Structure 1
Amino acid sequence: MQAYEAQRATQAAMSIASSLGLTAHYAAVLHNSNKLTLRLQPCDVLARVAPAAHQCAQLEVDIAQQLSEGGSPVAALKAPEVFVRDDYVVTLWTYYETVTPQAIPPADYARTLERLHAGMRRVELPTPHFTDRVSEAQTLVADHDRTPKLAGADRVFLAGTLDRLRGAVSDSGRPEQLLHGEPHPGNLLSTPTGPLFVDFETCCRGPIEFDLAHAPDEVGDQYPGVDHHLLRDCRTLVLAMITTWRWDRDDQFPDGHRLGIEWLGGLRDATAR
């Protein structure tokens, strides 16, 4: 978010927290892109704030609530509601201190993701398919107005890669289930109670390999029953998708343009292999 948007979003989160009897005198920004993540103090609550027009907070809360009730390794909600204030939606979560700055070992990462997947198989909510997310990327690539800095040859390359790998993953014949959607290391917290996943706004249905494509390579080696050929395709597909997001004129990911250039090169290398 731009500075003025972040200020309004922060005020909205603090106002909602105060209305619930939580003491929120100031807020520390933990992450700022298209959505703002705040640590409210001294109540020590984590607030996630997004523009009301571009969010799926209710689905995220519903999924997280069901997973938490089922004992899945997920961060707990502070309040199982979606709050709206001044054109922003706010969700409130438990804040967890990080136990160690070191990376979670691949075996622990894989076991935690396997437990999450087991819990997700018990969730019964209508959710998007992974191909819906690919379609969003394809639409973005095709829209010159939304991706004005994407060169013609790069646009053709991205469009072809997305289409080819979407078909390859869809036609794999692998079982599909509810997935986290983006279980990368930034969405897995090391807490005193063990690793916990956060951020369920990208949940979708698909093969487990689509989720594993977001995790470090060593995690896929530890996860049981993986189709490694499909995992390789999923990794390339995910790289094509996140590369596409970086070329969106409205993307606010930190240093996004540089990453878009860098990831395009990585994607060409991956498809060449």
Structure 2
Amino acid sequence: MITDEQRAARTARAVAAAVSAGRDLGIAVTEPEVLYDVFSVIVRLAPSPVVVRVPTVLPRTTTPEAQLTDQRRELAVAAWLGEKGLPVVKPSPLVPAEPVRRDGFSMTFWELVEFVEDANLAVGYTAKLVAKLHAALRDYPGELAFLNGLDPFIPDGLAQLEGRPDLLDPADLDRARREWETLRPLLESEEAFAKAFPGVTVQPIHGDSPGYNLIVTTEGDLYSDFELVKRGPIESDLAFNGPEGIEAYNAAAEELGLREVDETVLKTIEAAGRLQMVACLSMAPELPMLVEGMKPMIDLWRASPFEG
């Protein structure tokens, strides 16, 4: 496991890289401020109205080339939604909308927004905003991968947990592998999904719980964090929202001309999501807080029926 000192040093390197890259792009930086530090270090380049996202903990399967592709997609989608008038955190207008590599990190630059701390949005409210996002994303013309983030991340993460009973019990690992072998044929491609769930449409989606990635500001709520934008079923953006969230989404979907949630697809996507959480434990050596942070989800998965 990485030590606190090693993690602090990693954060300091990320901040230094963000400051250096920002200054080279002509941004005035005198007091950089770390706003967030988990999988990414989020740095405000004060006094300039620029925020830099520097990913520091990535899956082993994410190559530099794949990361660059994902970051370009994120920037492109956020910029496109902003041009359509959707309330979204946009790429910084002060620099080119392109990822920047510096000192081993690949980073993206975003506009600064003033957020309201400790805001708590009701799931029924956020589900309606997710429906509006889906309605806008239907027309996105760019190329997106189908359900990226499941394979090879899940099988590789489970492979790394082999021989790590401190992170996952061997019996749990065996169950996770068997569940993935059940789910993989249904989700491995758009063609496989269409065969498994005939008539269930797919489209561009946020890809990472958009209802939980809304930023509440004094001027309104903004969609954010399109790092995992992809093609897939709308259920992927609604996993674990519960009955209230699904009911609210369906009501909004009817008004917007979207299809309602398919309960079988939702159950399948949630099962895959639980396995993603299990596989995330493979990243705990680089981010020890995951052991405790993932424990509630792991306990729920362990107590749930086998997804066979």
Q: Normalized against structure 2, the TM-score is what?
A: 0.77
Counterpart residue type for residue 218 of structure 2? P
Whole-angstrom distance in 1 between the partners of 2:149 and 2:44 = 32
Q: 1:44 to 1:231 in 2, by over 3 A?
A: same
The residue type paired with residue 264 of structure 1 is: I
2:303 is matched with 269
Q: Look up the equivalent residue of 1:102 and give its one-letter code.
A: A
1:13-92 alignment to 2 at 5 Å?
A: 13-50=18-55, 53=64, 55=67, 56-78=70-92, 79=95, 80-92=97-109
CA 1:61–1:236: 2 relative to 1, 3 Å: same
Residues in 1 aligned to 2:130 and 2:164: alpha-carbon distance in whole angstroms: 34
Structure 1 residue 144, shift from structure 2 partner: 4.7
Give the Å deviation of 1:161: 2.3
Q: Distance in 1 between matches of 2:270 and 2:36?
A: 25
2:161 counterpart of 1:156: no
User: Deviations 1:40-75 (Å, cap 9, x if unpaired)?
Assistant: 212132110136837332221122122222223321
Taking every aligned residue pair, what percent have the same amino acid on both sides?
A: 25
SS at 2:227 equivalent: coil
Q: 1:101 aligns with which of 115, 118, 123?
A: 118
Asked if 1:129 is matched to 2:143, the reply is no
Q: Give the distance between the partners of 1:95 and 1:214, measured in 2 at CA.
A: 30
Counterparts in 2 of 1:257 and 1:217: CA distance versus 1, 3 Å: farther
Instruction: Tell me: CA distance 1:33–1:145, structure 2 relative to 1, closer, same or farther (3 Å).
Output: farther
Matching residue of 2:255: none
Of 5, 8, 11 in structure 2, the residue corresponding to residue 3 of structure 1 is: 8
Counterpart of 2:244 (choices 197, 215, 218) is 218
Where structure 1 has 5 or more consecutive residues not aligned to the other structure, the ranges are none
CA RMSD of aligned residues (A): 2.8
Question: Which residue matches 1:241?
Answer: 276
Runs of 4+ in 1 over 6 A off after TM superposition: none
Native 8 Å contact 1:14 1:40 kept in 2: yes
TM-score (norm 1): 0.86
For residue 93 of structure 1, what is the amino acid of its counterpart? W
Matched, 1:202 2:228: yes
Between 129-138 and 41-50, report the one with greater CA deviation. 129-138
Go from structure 1 to structure 2 and tell me whether the alpha carbon gap of 1:247 and 1:271 turns closer, same or farther (over 3 Å shift): farther
When the two structures are aligned, how many residues end up with a matched partner?
Answer: 272
Q: In 1, Cα distance between the equivalents of 2:140 and 2:163?
A: 35
C-alpha distance in structure 2 between counterparts of 1:97 and 1:272, whole Å: 44
Amino acid at match of 1:226: V
Deviations 1:189-226 (A, max 9, x none): 11234221211121121110111115465322210212
CA-CA distance at 1:139 after TM superposition: 2.4
Aligned with 1:264: secondary structure?
A: helix
Report if aligned partners of 1:236, 1:270 keep a CA contact under 8 Å in 2. Answer: no
Distance 1:181 1:188 in 2: 13
Deviation, 1:24, is 1.7
1:39, 1:131 → 2: CA distance? 29
Structure 2: gaps (5+ residues): 1-5, 57-62, 188-192, 251-259
Contact 2:42/2:51 (8 A) holds in 1: yes
